[in-house]
Structure 1
Amino acid sequence: MTAQPAIAPVGVEFRRLTVDDLDVFREIREEALQKFPQSFYSLEEDQGGDATVAAYRHWLSGTILGAFACQTLIGIAGFYVSPDKRSQHRGHIYTVYVKEASRGQGVGDGLIKQLLALAAARVEQVHLAVLLTATDAIKTYKRNGFEVYGTDPRAVRIGDATYDKYLMMKKFR
């Protein structure tokens, strides 16, 4: 099974982000971190480091796609192939975020479809982890062929609160 071609919502352009987009990427990532700290984090940011360094590391590790409406970045999603030689048949989707005002319009679906089209040519399967409480995201992933294969209990702790994650996967072949 191969990924379906991505159909962009009206007025939305999907494209790979470049280092020239670092500032707008950093802005949307900071928004995601502030609104959903249980979902978005990196070692640099957890240790009080510069978000720009964390953002730049994303470019080094794979592909970041952006969704633009009226030349404004409204959504992001990342993909990378496992660096371990024995796991290079596996890809990973991460940092999927759509600004609140743009949700429910197919932007998340479009980002996932674009990443899956890119991934299908490179890997046999794609993995992701998503909080159990992110029900809209889970529906989007399931619509795009992902299945839950496990639960990571208490995967994230912020203060006294813990959050479980679903582990999801889509096989191409």
Structure 2
Amino acid sequence: MTADDLELFRGIRAEALRTHPQTFGSPEEDEGGEGMLAAYRRWLAGTVLGAFECGGLMGVAGFYVSPDRRSLHRGHIFTVYVREDGRGQGFGDRLVKELLAHAEARVEQVHLAVLVEATAAIRTYKRNGFEIYGTDLGAVRIGDATYDRYLMVRKLSH
């Protein structure tokens, strides 16, 4: 996806934020307005893939390389979301596979964080070679609810 897809991305991201606020969110989105749009433009200037069916955007997934020069061997998958009516149809697997293919020439390992309760997402990541290497306890708090995240990694062959 590119900056030309801003409205499509904004729509699916709004759905993700509304339906799964414990999973998605950024400081820019908390602020809303132009700061949020600037963050989306920045994300879309990087690597954000979209899964389309019949012209509709069914899912998105992003990838970036760590900005710290001591961690340039590490990539990160972020903002993976598939619309409810697209789940179970392989969109998530295809997005993750494409991101891993993109990452192969750039990094030695790919990291991600996923809520412990997101069992379908965890299965998708495990099918694609990711392993849990830690738990980030109390990573997210919304109101009185606190959520833990698994930290997962996939080492790439070089």
Output the TM-score relative to the length of structure 1: 0.87
1:155 is paired with a residue whose SS is strand
2:64 is paired with a residue whose SS is strand
Superposed displacement of residue 53, structure 1: 2.5
Runs of 4 or more, structure 1, over 3 Å off, are: 48-51
1:152 aligns with 2:136: yes
Q: Identity over aligned residues, as a percent?
A: 67
Structure of greater relative contact order (alpha carbons < 8 Å, 6+ residues apart): 1
Superposed displacement of residue 57, structure 1: 2.4
Gaps of 5+ in 2: none
Within 5 A, what are the aligned runs for 1:64-143?
64-143=48-127
Output the TM-score relative to the length of structure 2: 0.95
Aligned counterparts of 1:170 and 1:160: Cα–Cα separation in 2: 33
1:29 aligns with 2:13: yes
Contact 1:42 1:54 in 2 (8 A): no
What is the one-letter code of the residue matched to 2:130?
Answer: F
Gaps of 5+ in 1: 1-16
CA deviation profile, 1:114-162 (whole Å, cap 9, x unmatched): 0000001110000000000000000000000000000000000001100
1:59 is matched with which residue? Answer: 44
Aligned counterparts of 2:22 and 2:86: Cα–Cα separation in 1: 21
Aligned counterparts of 2:52 and 2:11: Cα–Cα separation in 1: 14
**Paired residues, number:** 156
2:31 is matched with which residue? Answer: 47
1:164 is paired with a residue whose SS is strand
Aligned counterparts of 2:150 and 2:21: Cα–Cα separation in 1: 17
Q: RMSD over aligned Cα, in angstroms?
A: 1.0
Aligned counterparts of 1:46 and 1:126: Cα–Cα separation in 2: 27
Aligned counterparts of 1:43 and 1:49: Cα–Cα separation in 2: 12
